[in-house]
Amino acid sequence: MFVDQTSLLLALGFAALALSATLFVTWLASRTEKFILIWAVGAGVLVTAFAGFSIYAVTSIYILLWMSNMTLSGGFVIFFAAACLFTERRLPSQRVAAVGISIVSAITLPFLFGLDALGAMIGNIVNCILLAATAWKFWEGRAEAPIWVTGISSLYSITSLSFIPCAVMIYLKGPLVLTAPPSGWAEDVNSIVGLIGLTGIGAMSLAANQARVARHHQAEANTDALTGLLNRRAIFDLFGKAKLHTNTAALIFDLDHFKSINDKHGHAAGDEALRRFAQVMRKQQTRDTYAVRMGGEEFLLVMPEAGATQAMEAAEAIRSGFAHEILQGASGGFRGTVSVGVAVVSDAESFDDILRRADNALYTAKNAGRNRVWAAAVN
């Protein structure tokens, strides 16, 4: 043996307790990412498992081995749930429950027949599979934070492999009934790898959480709260200082008589009109276009390399689509219209320049009677 097994188990227990407390406090500070809360719960469950194994190593009380195996695997099920929540942004409760029930059955049955060695061996195999599945779940979500999530996945994988020698050594010792608590180089390696893995995964989980929170705040800063579109700040960060490529189109929209909508139908109806117009815009939005609420009732669609024909078709589709929307106000249903100004880059042009030309075309459309699309003259 490298070191005393009981000491290693106690070290694991204290590490799990410290990480559980740290992760829980981190979640309390923002209460945004629940995978951190679930991870904290899982680490807390492991504290009980390691305490049980420590006592069993000294007392050899039969039921403690069963309870500790169950609790350890239960903690790993919770880790798997946290990985699902991180990657899928939802908790697959039925899937997690099915995994939990299967594990309870697989570990408990041998113990009921007094085959504690078989139960411990199955527990190690189950833990290997659970941690491997958790590693794979995180690997699927590595694009979000490649460094941290890849690190988490790697540590889960390594920790998973450390359970295999434990199962093999129990099998090689022969009988399906333990004559003494499992102890040897395999258990020592498993405990050391678990201690390193637990600490590293906890630290990287905190880093991944902070990265996600930072992205969330950045998204909030760049998103219009009412419509969910980009805001003025975001679009100027993207294009404000750049020279635009030829055929980049800027479409500026202004809801007609918006003040009258608020006055006649109420501000709630005005907000609904803005949201519904944003929905109509999204129908014409592609991966390469940017839909923006510039402020008030003014919107912008930037279409890189679209060309005049495609830009005019998109503008007309949005204008016509919104004109057919039936909006609801305090006095009943009503329709709204929108005027559109379109400008297309014919030569290298700044973002401010194309917006100015599109804005001039918009005012021409309004002066011409509103509810129409007007193209700016070629620059």
Cα angle at 278 between 273 and 280, to 5 degrees? Answer: 95
Find tokens 């909006």 and name the residue.
327
CA atoms of 117 and 235, how far apart (whole Å)? 64
| pTM for the model | 0.70
Is the CB of residue 126 less than 8 Å from the CB of residue 107?
A: yes
Centroid of chain to Cα 297: 32
Q: Which of 335, 270, 341 is nearest to 300 (CA)?
A: 341
Beta-strand relationship, 338-344 and 373-375: parallel
The enclosing H or E element of 312 equals helix 307-323
Per-residue pLDDT of the chain (379 residues; tens, 9 = 90+): 456 777 888 888 888 998 899 888 888 877 777 888 999 999 999 999 999 988 888 888 888 889 999 999 999 999 999 999 988 888 888 988 999 999 989 999 999 988 888 999 999 999 999 999 999 999 998 888 889 899 999 999 999 999 999 999 988 887 777 766 777 888 889 989 998 998 898 888 888 888 877 777 777 788 898 999 999 998 998 887 778 888 899 999 999 999 888 888 888 889 999 999 999 999 888 888 999 999 999 999 999 988 889 999 999 999 999 999 888 877 778 889 999 999 999 877 889 889 999 999 999 999 999 999 999 877 6
**Which domains does the chain carry?**
5-221 (1.20.1070), 230-375 (3.30.70.270)
